[in-house]
Amino acid sequence: MTLIETVSELRAWRRSAGKVIFVPTMGALHEGHATLVKEARQMAGSSAQVAASIFVNPLQFGPNEDFDRYPRTLEADLALCEASGADMVFAPAVREVYQADRSIKILETSLSNVLCGASRPGHFDGVCTVVAKLFNLVQPDESVFGKKDYQQLAIIRRLVRDLDIPVIIHGIETVREVDGLAMSSRNRYLTPEERAQAPALRAALVTARDAWHSGVTCGNSLLALIHDHLATHAKLGREDYVALVDQQTLESLAQAQPRSLIALAVHFGKARLIDNIELE
């Protein structure tokens, strides 16, 4: 596996790489990220290259968020990427990605106004800016994202559509711990007591999905089931939001229907956990 840290090296690599499938990450990798790389490897077969990036993007952190303490575990991350089938990892310094006098960024004005974006203003502008830059640098044919951050996935799909970026976007199912908790780099912030309650997020979502399968379509009724479950089983958590939305537009829905999404975010101490469930 090749480690590249500069733009000039990356461009030289790209000239002879052929077809590329790309997995962008912020590092602190876990089995969920390994699954993304493995999925990319399967898509690539023996004829295409699998590229990953490890870059903690300062533009997507707010002033009171955890940029400085976000875990950086480059050596372990590289080992995971190699074991999962990556051919190349791009791990640049911030100064390699952003010029000191940069003055241009991408603004998302619709999908980022709800869910996580409502409490994290500017976050998805930072995501769009860095992903567009990485797509320009790596020039992948296809790219793989996890469904855990469903809002991000929807925004990246809108980004490539609206800016005519020739990259096929794949959404991969969320990888979970045995007890159902979605794997996340931020799970390490949980205390033992918080970790014991965190699987309630998934259980609450499953309860609502089961009710929908049983014929409950009223959005308020489904969300009330989630609120009640969290109030009983996740007493250390503090809800940020619980919402029923359209999977593509992220617009709020009064009635659940096929291709709806129930998404939530809950604070546990220093950790802010997100999860979702598709209604198909």
Per the annotation, the verdict on 267 as an active-site residue is no
How far is the C-alpha of 14 from the C-alpha of 11, rounded, in Å?
Answer: 5
Place of tokens 């045995």: 178
- Stated as kind and residue range, the H or E segment containing 275 is strand 271-279
CB 88 within 8 A of CB 51: yes
Identified catalytic residue from 30, 33, 123, 229? 33
- Quickly list DSSP for 144-213: EEESSSHHHHHHHHHHHHHTT---EEEEEPPPB-TTSPBP-GGGGG--HHHHHHTTHHHHHHHHHHHHHH
Neighbours of 182 (CB within 10 A): 22
Q: Which of the residues are catalytic?
A: 33
